Amino acid sequence: MGNKASLKDLGTRTILTKAWWSLLYLGIFVFGKHIPLPFAKLQVGQTSALLVATGGDSSQATLFSLGISPWMSAMIIIGMLAQLRLPLMSKMTERKMDIGQKTLTFFLAVIQASVMLQEFQLTDNSFGARLGAGLFLLTGCFLLIWLSVENDKNGLGGISLILMANMFFTLMKNFVSGLIPGLGATEANIVRAFSLLAILFLGTMTVILTNAERRVPVTKLLISAEFGSESYLPIRLLPAGSMPAMFATTMFVLPKYLLQFLFNLSAWTPFKQLAAAFDFSRLSGLVIYCLILVGLTYGFSYISIDPLQQADDMQQSGDYIPGFHPGKETEKYLRHLINVYSFVSSIYFVLFVGLPMGLTLISSRLSSLVMLPNYVIILAGFGAGIAEQIEVLQIRSQYQGLL
């Protein structure tokens, strides 16, 4: 009993230690959000809902205004290129891919920082002042990246903790302000009540769908039939989890920043016109965002479960799915399942994440509501991930060592 109790205490101490590390990283994040950007007025304007989803904040010119959008964009681009199995990518080692991702992150961060400085009101427009402010933004971006990576190693919630905290703070701020500007006290309370009900419904549904899975039976030749009959390959109903909702904002703002950067360099009007298309106040922006959601849903699903790799691993180990020959036939079946569930997932994300963005087509006053479903789905999905992480730590503490 004493040994079991000590193992349980060890698991609890591990969870508490990770929780304290996460609180430390969150404290640094909150503190950095109040460090003003040099040579710039602190208060800028309204919060960009898209930037919030990447850990940034355009309403104030601070150390962390840039967020980690460049890093997220680089991860998606490198990940998708690796999934395509291009000859050049297949020959690259993990170290070279990591260097390539960091280089791309720096390149995108410089572009986004330069565009963001155009939006801020600087008190000094000299080259030295703009360079100093830009370096300050870059420092904040890479500090946030470091905090996210360290939390993945030592804390709870992985690299998404900072994003979750930023979205949660923004969500609470919007609730306090009444969500829709210009409403009276009674109308604001009614909007809060309906929004809260919608949050509870969408959050519950997201957790249920995230945990739901299709269990494909797998026969393992090297395992006794008594246990082999219980083997299966789990395929989640949402194979990509909440990742499309989180990364869609990053991929949506990336072309806009690139086009705006090119316009600032060349002053060529078509660049500005194309950048304007990535705006939710236009129908083009809504359509582009929904297409990005669908593309990321399929992309992350295939990253989560690679049919070719899975079929090869099963064939080499002698495992097979009853009714399907190992190899190509198994790969084709797995690809079919992923396509089906990716299609279902894409409909879910378009309905509850993409279409609400169209509220800005009705009125700009509804801008605080457009990202509400997005925040809820991301927070619910990764909240379920944190709960699963804690459960794993508790289970791990119950195993005894051989020596």
Summarised one tens digit per residue, pLDDT across range 352-390 is: 998 888 888 887 777 778 888 888 888 888 887 777 777
**Strands (E) located in 185-270:** 213-217, 232-236
Q: Kindly state the average pLDDT of the residues 114-140.
A: 87
Q: pLDDT tens digit string along 149-178?
A: 999 889 888 888 888 888 888 888 877 777
Tens of pLDDT, residues 191-237: 888 888 988 998 899 888 888 888 888 887 665 555 545 688 888 88
What does the pLDDT read at residue 341?
93
Does the pLDDT value for residue 87 go beyond 80?
no
What is the homologous superfamily of the domain 212-370 according to CATH? SecY subunit domain (1.10.3370.10)
Task: Give ranges for CATH 1.10.3370.10 in the chain.
Answer: 1-178, 212-370
Q: What is the pLDDT of residues 276-335, one digit of tens each?
A: 888 888 888 899 999 999 999 998 898 888 888 888 888 888 888 888 888 889 999 999
- Looking at residue 128, its amino acid is G
Entry field: residues in the chain: 403
One-letter amino acid at 352 equals: F
Residues 6+ positions from 154 with CB-CB distance below 8 Å: 18, 21
Query: Looking at residue 291, what is its pLDDT?
Result: 94
Contact call for residues 255 and 262 (beta carbons, < 8 A): no
- Structure tokens given for 336: 């079919």
Q: Are 296 and 345 in contact (CB under 8 A)?
A: no
Nearest Cα neighbor of 290 from 324, 224, 245 is 245
Burial class (CB in 10 A: 0-12, 13-18, 19+), 272: middle
3-state secondary structure of 217: strand
Q: Which residue has the tokens 């370096």?
A: 135
Per-residue pLDDT band at 47 (split at 50, 70, 90): low
- Top pLDDT among 183 and 205 is at 205
What is the second-level CATH architecture of the domain 1-178? Orthogonal Bundle (1.10)
Nearest to 143 by CA among 62, 79, 74: 62
**C-beta atoms surrounding 205 within 10 Å:** 15
Q: Determine the pLDDT at residue 10.
A: 54
Alpha helices in 59-156 (DSSP H): 69-83, 87-90, 94-119, 127-154
